[in-house]
């Protein structure tokens, strides 16, 4: 969770050694000046996992090839369970998913893709053994014929 109060104090500790009451991030001690607006926007983007100098993020790509006997409601249960993980695992800073729409016919039976974003390896290290993730693995395991996982760094 983003703690703007802590971020403000840390920033002011580094950039306001004389303890000025205004003109660093505010014009009057209360209302943000342009530097303050940029500071808040950058912290919010970083908290969302996009933009800013710390925008390098670890992307964890997961593709599922479901077994032929798995029903649409069973697939939807898997999708819903995966989509619920960001609310259960704080280390996840971004999540996207979708169904294959490629026209290249190179998907090799993989139909559903998911991208889980972490700030760093530490986030992934929290995610993989997390009880919520392990519960999800138990749900999806019997339903998939194959899984492909590919991790990469964004912003490089």
Terminal CA-CA length for the chain:
26
Strand 144-153, strand 92-99: pairing: unpaired
Spatial distance between the Cα atoms of 141 and 135, rounded to a whole number of angstroms? 10
> Is residue 95 within a helix (H) or strand (E), and if so which, with residue range?
strand 92-99
* pTM exceeds 0.95: no
Q: What six digits make up the tokens of 27? A: 């014009």
Query: Domain coordinates of the chain in residue numbers?
Result: 4-48, 58-153
Give the domain 58-153 fold.
Alpha-Beta Plaits (3.30.70)
pLDDT over 60 at 54, yes or no: no
Q: What percent of the chain has pLDDT over 90?
A: 60
Spatial distance between the Cα atoms of 38 and 135, rounded to a whole number of angstroms? 40
């Amino acid at each position: 969770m983003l703690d703007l109060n802590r971020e403000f104090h840390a920033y002011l500790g580094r950039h306001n050694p004389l303890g000025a009451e205004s003109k660093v991030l505010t014009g009057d001690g209360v209302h943000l000046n342009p530097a303050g607006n940029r500071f808040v926007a950058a912290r919010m983007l970083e908290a969302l996992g996009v933009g800013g100098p710390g925008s390098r993020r670890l992307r964890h790509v997961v593709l599922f090839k479901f077994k032929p006997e798995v029903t649409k409601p069973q697939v939807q249960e898997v999708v819903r369970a995966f989509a619920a993980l960001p609310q259960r695992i704080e280390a996840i800073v971004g999540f996207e998913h979708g169904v294959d729409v490629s026209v290249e016919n190179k998907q090799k039976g993989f139909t559903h893709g998911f991208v889980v974003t972490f700030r760093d390896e530490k986030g992934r290290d929290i995610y993989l053994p997390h009880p919520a993730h392990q519960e999800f693995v138990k749900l999806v395991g019997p339903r998939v014929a194959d899984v492909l996982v590919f991790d990469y760094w964004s912003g490089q």
